[in-house]
Amino acid sequence: MTLLINLQHLPITDPILIFALVLIIILIFPTLFKKLGIPEIIGLIIAGVIVGPHGVNLLSQDIGLSIFSQAGLLYLMFLAGLEINVAQFLKNKIPSLTFGILTFSLPFILSGFVFFYIFKVDIIASLLISSMIATHTLVAYPIIGRFGINNNRVVNIIIGGTIITDTIALLILAIVSESTNGTLDHLFWIQFIGYFTLFLIFVLWVIPHLSKWFFKNYDGESSSEYIFVLTMVFIAAVVAKFVHIEPIIGAFFVGLAMSSLIPRTSPLMNRIVFIGNTIFIPFFLITVGMYVDLHVLTQGKELIFLIIAFVIIALLSKYIAAYITQKIFKYNKLERNLIFGLSNARAASAIAIVLVGFNLELINESIVNATIILVLISTLVSSFVTQNAAKKIAIQEEKELPDLSDSPERILVPISNPNTIEKLINFAILIKDPKSKLPLYPLSIVNDDHKAEQNVVTYSKILDKARVHASSSDKIAQIVSRIDTNIADGIARTTKELQITKIVMGWHGKSTTKSFFFGTLLKNLLEKTGKMIYVIRLNTPINLIENIHVMMPPASEFEIGFLEWVNSILNISVHTNSKITFWGYKQTHQKIQSIIENNKYIQEVDYRVAVSSNMFQLISEKIQENDLLVIISARKNTISHNRHIKQIPNQIESYFKDSNILIIYPEQETVYRESIDLQV
């Protein structure tokens, strides 16, 4: 009865009913449009048109919906900044700047000319209209993530161009707004530049340092980490607004500042993307549709001509910018279409500009209505073009990948210490092939004694914690328990049974380096299996790693597992945005360089020639608190084994007692005992 009474008084005002209706829309419309072969985000925008004040009037832009909408827009811009690979962006800064200038200047100049000389709009209004048409919002960006092409070479260029375009447009808006108050004097420019400088210092220096402190001191507290990130986004938006910059610029810069602190495959990144794409961003897309008023199409020919001019200039100028960018930097047609698709949608920025102009009485209602229709049409075109291009690029990239189906990756993570579970799982996720659908295998080994039954229950609870943590990163974990006479035998047998390819293990914090390496566990395990083994000791969260120092013995390039461990280190570097320094011999460096060139790796790499006898001392002079030392070791009697490898435990104790260390034993022959002597 209450529901019927509420529905008689539209729009709906009951907050519970509003939230329920929006969730129903988010649940039904994207799925329905996906089945029709139409981009899902179009379904949300069309839903907004239907239920909005210009449709059946079920929903209005009340304060509650507006808060979620604003949060969704900030979230969208934050994700765009977070996805930027800083190293790749700096490497491609010329294409980004070129595209940003083209995608702003062409629409700006063309629309300014048309509206000032043909439509006879005054100069201030022409500036606002031109800025609105020049700007764009990455509404179709979630499509990129769905097809998994975030690392395509043009995506960072598009995002970089977007921030250049929107920043210029919104700065023009701020200047025009101030000019109407007659305050555009020397004091205004001094204050504006000063405030903007303080803003950059806050988001690019204060927030990163505060984030490093927080992640280091609250490592493992997942919910607190997420709330901290969200808090930084909104604080930066508030600071941006205070200095007369649009809040979306603040959100974007926070994403940029945190991109090196949140690994792509981490549980925290999974939470950020999941919550944004399922709640906040859909709210924003629905409210974009609610702005659209299709009734304005019946208001006369003058408005129709205005809309046609808006649409033609907007689409044509953005396409020309994408076309010129393609020709200059020799991109293919699919990448050109992706550039055009992503940079074509007008949404919040455009609406913000025209509404400010309307409130200042610089532009009339017809311009506002034409802008709303442009938002709808450009968003539809953007979604269709982006989805089509992204799908074909994803298929193309899939074909270029090597076929690894004959040797699927299976990672075993033996666990005994509850305090190291999250670090071991995070590291395993970091080196895991993103294309692999196989789970991680957390393992507990229980000694076969009179307490075995009781210990199985205890260790099952520990493993369950590992499974939950892995699932929080969207990775599956298949827990394994074994009862065996000793731990090394249990790990070796499990490796054979499950056809494991990599083993990730840590050493207990209470164990000294010498006792661990000279003890029976690792020694026996190395004798019983030829699989690649990673031994990790982390005193710093993996996402805070800044530099990776790799120490390599001579002839390590001839080992069977050489390519695999090089790729693992490259993956760690990409996910942590860290620089790599390879310490070793010239022949090894040349082999690594060829692998890097084939992988199109873009992080900063340095090569230092050093001999085994003094590598530890040289590296100890360079390594910092947040650096990772990777030691490429070797089993006894293998090609790269030498007398200096025996000194590794002593050297670690002497030079790197408190450092982050990863020791890698490359893969050897599968039938280890029978083939090891032959290999020598």
DSSP type of residue 626 = T
- CA 634 to chain centroid, in Å, comes to 35
More confident residue, 391 or 646: 391
- pLDDT at residue number 333: 92
**Averaged pLDDT score across all residues of the chain:** 79
Give the tens place of pLDDT for each residue, 492-516. 888 888 888 898 988 754 455 555 5
CA distance 629 to 648: 12
**Residue in this structure with the two tokens 């450009």, named with its chain if needed:** 378
Question: Which residues have a Cβ under 8 Å from the Cβ of 430 and sit 6 or more positions away?
Answer: 263, 265, 266, 542, 571, 572, 575, 576
Give the tens place of pLDDT for each residue, 272-324. 888 888 888 888 888 877 877 777 777 777 788 888 999 999 999 999 999 99
Question: At residue 423, does pLDDT exceed 60?
Answer: yes
pLDDT band at 106 (very low <50, low <70, confident <90, very high): very high
Residue 343 CA: distances (Å) to CA of 338, 347, 354: 8, 11, 19
Give the tens place of pLDDT for each residue, 192-223. 788 888 988 999 899 999 998 998 888 766 78
- Give the tokens for residue 363: 């532009």
Give the tens place of pLDDT for each residue, 582-610. 988 888 888 988 888 777 666 778 898 88
Question: At residue 673, does pLDDT exceed 50?
Answer: no
Pairing state of beta strands 579-584 and 605-609?
A: parallel
Question: Which residues have a Cβ under 8 Å from the Cβ of 475 and sit 6 or more positions away?
Answer: 265, 429, 432, 439, 440
Highest-confidence segment of 252-256, 331-335, 472-476, 525-529: 331-335
- pLDDT at residue number 375: 82
For the segment 532-543, the average pLDDT, to the nearest whole number, is 87
Residue 59 CA: distances (Å) to CA of 12, 53, 66, 309: 6, 6, 11, 31
Which domains occur in the chain, in start order?
Answer: 73-400 (1.20.1530.20), 404-537 (3.40.50.620), 539-680 (3.40.50.620)
- pLDDT at residue number 570: 87
Question: At residue 411, does pLDDT exceed 80?
Answer: yes
pLDDT band at 670 (very low <50, low <70, confident <90, very high): very low
- pLDDT at residue number 321: 93
Strand runs labelled E in 530-572: 532-537, 547-551
Give the tens place of pLDDT for each residue, 124-148. 888 888 988 988 878 788 788 778 7
Q: Torsion-angle region of residue 144: left (phi > 0), alpha (psi -120 to 50) or beta?
A: alpha
Report whether 125 contacts 357 (CB < 8 A).
yes
Report whether 414 contacts 559 (CB < 8 A).
no
**Residue in this structure with the two tokens 């949404």, named with its chain if needed:** 347
Report whether 491 contacts 445 (CB < 8 A).
yes
DSSP notation for 486-540? SHHHHHHHHHHHTT--EEEEE--TTS-HHHHHHSHHHHHHHHH--SEEEEEE-SS
Can the peptide bond before residue 11 be classed as cis, meaning omega within 30 degrees of 0?
Answer: yes
Strand partners, 533: 503, 665
Question: Which residues have a Cβ under 8 Å from the Cβ of 259 and sit 6 or more positions away?
Answer: 81, 82, 83, 84, 85, 86, 577
Give the tens place of pLDDT for each residue, 232-245. 999 999 998 888 77
Give the tens place of pLDDT for each residue, 54-105. 888 888 777 667 788 888 888 877 887 787 766 666 777 788 889 989 999 9
- The burial of 417, by beta-carbon neighbours within 10 Å (0-12 exposed, 13-18 middle, 19 or more buried), is given as middle
The amino acid at 158: I
DSSP type of residue 535 = E
Strand partners, 627: 547
Per 3-state DSSP, what percentage of the chain is helix, strand, and coil (rounded to 5)?
Answer: 65, 10, 25
More confident residue, 673 or 91: 91
